[in-house]
């Protein structure tokens, strides 16, 4: 299954008799954009992002039978995505380091000057987030996706206070990077 197929699936939830397939399609549909941003924050090239998204979709499918409802579906999904991203980075570390493609952040602003200023700022921020050490980058990305401290802690397997510490340190690092 290619990323385009995942995108098509996330674009509309197709009727299926299989409840597992319906749940899988719904989760991809509801969280497809967030998963794309999460994957894009871990890798540099669009093709690596697509590969990682495909792995996340497959891992989600394989993990759905083990979902016991002890956390929200969104937390469950992000835990799977987090684990897949770590495994992907570990497996493809040298390849990920040489990738030259940049993450594109598009702004729908109609004003060209505002668009250019925001695009450059967004690119600088995306580059700064990517430059963060992995432990800080993961917390920032999950926070930007709207997860609460408790959910981030559950996804990463750390304490809530550790989430706060990592976010504060990441913010300090980002401030230093953005003022340079």
CATH number at residue 91: 1.10.1740.10
Is 132 inside any structural domain?
no
Structure tokens at 18: 């299989």
Is 5 inside any structural domain?
yes
Is 142 inside any structural domain?
no
Is 143 inside any structural domain?
no
Is 170 inside any structural domain?
no
Angle subtended by helix axes 160-179 and 149-156, to nearest 10: 100
Average pLDDT for residues 115-124, to the nearest whole number? 74
Is 49 inside any structural domain?
yes
Is 79 inside any structural domain?
yes
Quick: pLDDT tens for 13-34.
Answer: 556 678 889 999 999 999 999 9
Pick from 138, 134, 171: nearest CA to 154: 138
Which range of residues forms the domain containing residue 3? 1-101
Considering its fold, how many domains does the chain have in total?
1
Residue 95 pLDDT exceeds 60? no
Range ranked top by mean pLDDT from 93-97, 101-105, 171-175: 171-175
Per-residue pLDDT, 123: 82
């Amino acid at each position: 299954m290619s990323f385009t197929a995942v995108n098509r699936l996330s674009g509309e939830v197709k009727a299926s008799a299989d409840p597992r397939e319906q749940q899988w399609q719904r989760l991809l549909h509801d969280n497809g954009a967030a998963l794309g941003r999460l994957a894009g924050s871990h890798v540099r090239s669009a093709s690596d992002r697509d590969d990682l998204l495909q792995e996340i979709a497959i891992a989600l499918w394989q993990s759905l039978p083990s979902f016991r409802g002890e956390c929200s579906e969104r937390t469950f999904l992000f835990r799977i995505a987090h684990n897949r991203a770590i495994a992907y980075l570990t497996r493809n570390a040298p390849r990920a380091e040489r990738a030259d493609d940049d993450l594109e952040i598009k702004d729908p602003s109609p004003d060209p000057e505002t668009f250019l200023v925001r695009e450059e700022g967004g690119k600088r921020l995306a580059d700064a987030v990517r430059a963060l050490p992995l432990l800080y980058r993961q917390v920032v990305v999950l926070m930007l996706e709207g997860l609460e401290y408790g959910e981030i802690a559950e996804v990463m397997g750390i304490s809530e206070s550790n989430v706060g510490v990592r976010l504060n340190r990441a913010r300090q690092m980002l401030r230093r990077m953005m003022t340079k």
